[in-house]
Amino acid sequence: MRTLVTGAAGFIGSTLVHRLLADGHQVIGVDNVSTGNAANLEAVLGGNGLSTGRFTLVQVDIQAPELTDIVAGTNPDVIFHLAAHVDLTGSVSDPQFDARSNVLGTINLCEATRRGGVKRIVYAASGGSRYGTPTRLPVDESAPVGPLSPYAVAKLAGELYLRAYAGMYGLAPICLALANVYGPRQNPHGEAGVIAVFGSALIAGRPVTVYGDGTAARDYVYVDDVVDAFVRAGEAPLSVTGTYNIGTGRQTTVAEVHRMISSVLDESAPPRYAAARAGELHAIALDASRAEEALGWKPTVDIVEGIERTVHWLRAALDPDSSAIVGA
């Protein structure tokens, strides 16, 4: 299968690239490497046998006009669209930039997709923000949407554009509404990804800041499980379309996340607290039973195991000489 992955150098995108190559597929990666990290792709860029002749990275922004020529020239069977601006606070302070990346970039890809004759596009939607503040948790796809931030609005707009292009041009999009994804390769220095942020701070001996009172709850889903959902969506019959929640259905509070990471690291330093940030939800969890029925997908890594794996990776990434990672 020939595939094209936007956001290929990012956290989820690079993990997907490695999985697709391991499964024997051809992969074209597209990334402007503004927030993605080319180091995430070093192993496959080096032609290590796993990817020899089957992976190419094109450094271009998804808003660029030449994207159409890239899609036409590579003729993929499936496009996985993960490139996005994912900074919620940044979307509040500069909603125009967020919209250019997440709305105009997605429109440009839709145009490239239909002009290139590609039917299947799998889109990384935001399950953590599309429903606003649902009255019941876990929430399923039948719940009303209620985006509460520019980021949430822009990601939902991407879904709606894909739906419109499906009706106008026969595209067959699958939108995966992702819960809070975590795991190896997540940027430990960014805003997104509380597990990576907390873990890196505790490893480095820095204080951890909790925004709000620590009771805010999220549905944390491990990156390998998320990548498996993308692969299944890419291989699904073209008759399968629509939006599917990808999450565990379980709520875990910020305070519980801090305790679990502290336990792995044998740390006892308490967090410090700051005011909750604008646009953030108090609680979310996703019912993914529709994805299980249509895609055969369900999560396999629970949060305790996932946090242990992530902390081991963080230790190795932040301190390559750490003996704690040996054998992990």
Examine the pLDDT at 126 and tell me if it is beyond 80. Answer: yes
Q: SS3 for 43?
A: helix
Examine the pLDDT at 89 and tell me if it is beyond 90. Answer: no
* DSSP 8-state symbol, 48: -
Task: Read off the pTM.
Answer: 0.93
Quote the tokens at residue 114.
């239909």
d(CA 318, CA 314): 6
Q: Between these two residues, 173 and 37, which has the higher pLDDT value?
A: 173
104-122 pLDDT, tens digit per residue, is 999 999 999 999 999 999 9
Among candidate residues 151, 161, 165, 222, the one labeled active-site is 151
Mean pLDDT of 284-300: 98
d(CA 114, CA 165): 8
Mean pLDDT of 45-69: 85
The domain 2-325 is placed in CATH, from the list 3.40.50.720, 1.10.290.10, 3.40.50.2020, 3.40.50.150, at 3.40.50.720
Q: SS3 for 22?
A: helix
d(CA 295, CA 305): 24
* Maximum Cα–Cα distance across the chain: 57
Show me where the domains of the chain are located.
2-325
Quote the tokens at residue 262.
């502290």
Reply yes or no on whether 165 is catalytic.
no
Nearest-5° Cα angle at 40, 56 to 209: 145
